[in-house]
Amino acid sequence: MFSRASNNLFTGGTFNVHMHGSTLGGGFERLQQAVAPSAFHDAGHIIDPPKCHPNTRIAVINKIMDWILGLREDDRNAVILWLYGPAGAGKSAIAHNIAERCNLENLLLASFVFSRSDPTCGNANSLIATIAYQIAINVPQTREKIIAAVEHDPLVLTRSLETQLAALIVNPLRELLDAGYFNISSSRRLIIIDGLDECDTPAVQCKILDIISMLFRQYHLPLLILIASRPERHLTHSFNNEPLRDFHTTLALDDTYRPDDDIRLFLNDTFRKVKDTHPMKTFLGPSWPSVDVVEKLVRKSSGQFIYASTVVKYISSLRHQPADRLNVILRIRPPRHAGEMPFGELDALYSHILSCVDDTKTLLRILGIQLFSPFGALMERVELEHFFSLNEGDIDMLLGDINSIVTFNNQLPYLHMLHASLPDFLLDADRSRHFYVDLSSVHVTCVGPAETLIYYVPTYLTLILLLADDFDDADEIYARNLEVVLDFFVSKLQPYYSNPRLTLLLTYLATIQPVLATFVLPLPLRLKMVDNEGLQLHDVTDVCPNSHFPPDRHIFEDFLNSDHPLAMDGARYATATLDCLQIIFKRYKGGVSGINWFTHHSRALMAGLAIKVEHVWYRQKYMTTADEIVLLLYSF
């Protein structure tokens, strides 16, 4: 690598550099004034810069370094690497690590870190000047040319990004190219741009990508550009299309690189340090915190380091008791002081991302139904759009600006929150403020009409019926779903229904659990029980004359275990529930507002629910446990 001496002669061409004090006068000062020092990766005002914890992110960093050094055959022709991942995934820490390492190895040409919280580096005004300044410092052979451009046109720093790029970066580097500088493998050629999504507006961000592409498609400079950002819709579109498509490679911070292992290591190391060095360490037991607590924090992190980092900063405060603060994080006790915000940094991130959405009201309604209902969590795009009276494609447009925290699952067409801590934020009014999701309002808005149940049942029940052909993991599915669905029906839906038959159905579903232990019948006996005699429950008074609507579930529990002549054992009880479903669908078929008749699940169910129910009960495959039967009824 060339030293930073003031005179150098490059082989492969004649390029003599002569530095004159007078030349460094006004031009250099004007350049300095246009620079954003806060955008340097090693900016002095940052007390605790983002950095990777020791022995974490090793695979990611090694892959990026291999790309920089040209060791990856499949990426050797890519001159841009886009490092992207969800909000809080640790992109800036990785970019900072690469910048520090490459600077020590004399590979870094320049860096620029965007930050929306700093007016000097939250826009593109100083981008070219800041990069040009670093080029002049890191490669002194370019300094005279850069300063001459400023002195030749004192207003060049106010001109378009394209003009600045040509005058302050391209022309100085072209002379290096002609002189053979870039023929040396160890030459400084890496430029790092971190946090592109935090720059000003989407239009400006795309403009920056466009001028970056000019370095290669128009000027053919042998540089390398590392760009780190969230996978915002407009950025993804730019990278996936011309002119960037053929110049770049990508590295996604996903589960491929086992982030949970790194987060677990980070938490354990930090807790160990707290126990060894904290002033209140004598109050911490040897097993603090427990393995279960650490695992809970890992799960809550969802592969994103920002949650774990926020937890660590809060717990490590020297002015507070670590065990107490961990209990606050775990919600074992509230904060000691009003206004204390353990997740302030995380809350600010969520608030900023959600504020980018144009229609916040509709967004919160969609997120609310996801949090409120197991049905909502399994609604596809078209169903969400129909339910909220949106046009086709509106959901994708609405969520496009927040896909770093909420997106549709790659494998399944359901909405997926990438951060397990996001629901905590949305459901806490003190944290989320005007982004607060009030579940009581969601109840009234989304499940007020009795017909809403008919909307939900087609997709969910049909899915369960279709799964009935393969029950190898029925016990596991049942155990995972029963408790939450039971609570959902009993505490949230039941009060909102006035139709007797619908209420009866809910009550059936809410009271199945007590009969599980007795509902184990051999297949022949079970088949004999499947008949319609006595099970057409047209009037609830046929079953329990003293009940009222909405009925008290305990009445039905008592009734189920009584000597009443109409009381049903477990098999008949489950059969009656399925029969009740048939009655509901036959009665309301084609006449219920709010039902989505166009999904494949709905069409299949409405085409012949009775046939599918028969298939479940009469199919040849042997069903060995009550759980398998109850799963059909209880999981929708």
| Statement: residue 525 has pLDDT above 70 | no
**pLDDT top residue among 315 and 440:** 315
Q: How confident is the model at residue 522 (pLDDT cuts 50, 70, 90)?
A: very low
Q: For residue 567, is pLDDT > 80?
A: no
The whole-number pLDDT of residue 391 equals 86
Exposed (0-12), middle (13-18) or buried (19+): which is 83, by Cβ within 10 Å? buried
In 3D space, the residue among 195, 196, 404, 419 whose CA is nearest the CA of residue 304 turns out to be: 419
pLDDT at residue 38 is higher than 70: yes
Beta-ladder partners of 415: 408
224-229/248-252 β-pairing: unpaired
Per-residue pLDDT reduced to its tens digit, 149-203: 999 999 999 999 999 999 999 999 998 888 888 887 777 899 999 999 999 899 9
**Spatial distance between the Cα atoms of 165 and 132, rounded to a whole number of angstroms:** 9
Q: Which of the two residues, 629 and 283, has the higher pLDDT score? A: 283
591, pLDDT greater than 90: no
Cα–Cα distance for residue pair 514/495, rounded to 1 Å:
21
Q: What does R_g of the chain's alpha carbons equal in angstroms?
A: 32
Query: Is the per-residue pLDDT at 502 higher than 50?
Result: no
User: What does DSSP assign to residue 281?
Assistant: G
CB of 45 within 8 A of CB of 180?
Answer: no
DSSP state of 333: S
Q: Tell me the average pLDDT of the chain.
A: 71
What was the pLDDT predicted at 388? 76
Start-end of H helices in 179-319? 202-217, 233-240, 259-277, 291-301, 305-315
pLDDT(545) > 80 = no
Condensed to tens digits (0 to 9), the pLDDT of residues 74-95 reads 888 899 999 999 888 999 999 9
* Residue 438 and residue 602 in contact, taking contact as beta carbons nearer than 8 Å: no
- Using CA atoms, how far apart are residues 226 and 100, in angstroms rounded to an integer? 14
Whether 423 has a pLDDT exceeding 70, the answer reads yes
Distance between CA atoms of residues 526 and 12, nearest Å: 89
Distance separating alpha carbons of residues 343 and 348, to the nearest angstrom = 9
* pLDDT: which is higher, 41 or 513: 41
Matching residue, tokens 């600045």 = 164
Q: Does 545 sit behind a cis peptide bond, omega within 30 degrees of 0 on the bond before it?
A: no
Q: Is the Cα dihedral 256, 259, 262, 268 positive or negative?
A: negative
Residue 300 amino acid letter: K
**Would strands 80-84 and 224-229 be described as parallel, antiparallel, or unpaired?**
parallel
Which of 217, 205, 218 has the alpha carbon at shortest distance from 247?
Answer: 217
Question: For 453, what's the count of Cα atoms within 13 Å in the CB-facing half-sphere?
Answer: 23
Beta strands 415-417; 406-408: pairing state? antiparallel
Q: Residue 420: pLDDT band by 50, 70, 90 thresholds?
A: confident
Query: CA nearest 192: which of 280, 68, 296, 78?
Result: 68
CA atoms within 13 A on the CB side of 212: 30
Q: Which pTM was predicted?
A: 0.66
Q: Measure the CA–CA gap between 458 and 66, rounded to whole angstroms.
A: 51
Tokens of 198: 């935090």
Query: What is the pLDDT at residue 418?
Result: 84
Tokens in use for 547? 């009940």
Contact 439, 445 (CB under 8 A): no
Percent of the residues in the chain that have a pLDDT greater than 90, as a whole number: 38
Query: What average pLDDT does this structure show over 407-435?
Result: 82
**Which residues neighbour 561 within 8 Å (Cβ) at sequence distance 6 or greater?**
514, 567
Report whether pLDDT(624) > 60: no
CB 248 within 8 A of CB 254: no
CB-based contact 333:327 (threshold 8 Å)? yes
Alpha-carbon span 80 to 250, nearest angstrom: 8
What domains, with CATH codes, occur in the chain? 21-41+48-257 (3.40.50.300), 259-342 (no CATH), 348-446 (1.10.10), 451-634 (no CATH)
Q: What share of the chain is helix, strand, coil (3-state, %, to 5)?
A: 55, 5, 40
Check if the beta carbon of residue 66 is closer than 8 Å to that of residue 60: no
3-state secondary structure of 193: strand
100 and 111 in contact (C-beta within 8 Å)?
no
For residue 279, CA distances in Å to 284, 317, 335 come to 11, 10, 20
The band of 25, judged by pLDDT with boundaries at 50, 70 and 90, is: low
Report whether 485 contacts 374 (CB < 8 A).
yes
Q: What is the pLDDT of residues 314-362, one digit of tens each?
A: 999 998 899 999 998 988 777 776 667 888 888 998 998 999 888 898 8
The confidence band for 636, taking pLDDT boundaries of 50, 70 and 90, is very low
Q: Is 60 exceeded by the pLDDT of residue 619?
A: no
- Give alpha helix (H) positions in 489-599: 500-510, 523-529, 553-560, 570-588
Percent of the chain with pLDDT over 70: 62
Task: Give the integer Cα–Cα distance in Å for 615 and 633.
Answer: 14
How many residues does the structure list for the chain?
A: 636
Give the number of other Cβ atoms within 10 Å of residue 99's Cβ: 23
Torsion on CA atoms 344, 345, 349, 354, rounded to nearest 10: 0
Q: Quote the pLDDT of residue 448.
A: 39
pLDDT value at 368 more than 70: yes
84, 252 Cβ separation under 8 angstroms:
yes
Query: Does residue 495 have a cis peptide bond before it, meaning omega lies within 30 degrees of 0?
Result: no
Taking residue 324's Cβ as centre, other Cβ atoms within 10 Å add up to: 15
Q: Give every CB contact of residue 51 below 8 A, 6+ residues apart in sequence.
A: 93, 96, 97
SS3 4: coil
* pLDDT at residue 243 tops 70: yes
pLDDT of 487 reads 46
The tokens 């669905």 sit on which residue?
485
Return the minimum-mean-pLDDT range out of 28-42, 101-115, 314-328, 545-559: 545-559
Q: In this structure, which amino acid lies at residue 232?
A: E
Whose tokens are 């040209």? That residue is 70
Would you say 369 and 446 are in contact if contact means Cβ atoms under 8 Å apart?
Answer: yes
Helix H segments across 139-227?
143-152, 161-165, 171-178, 202-217
Give the mean model confidence (pLDDT) for residues 93-122.
94
Q: Which of 236-245, 262-271, 274-283, 496-505 has the lowest mean pLDDT?
A: 496-505
Structure-token pair, residue 482: 């029963």
pLDDT above 50 for 102: yes
Residue in the block written with tokens 């939900």: 456
Report the distance separating Cα 568 and Cα 563, nearest Å: 10
Q: Nearest to residue 368, comparing CAs of 445, 430, 458?
A: 445
DSSP secondary structure code for residue 166 in this structure: I
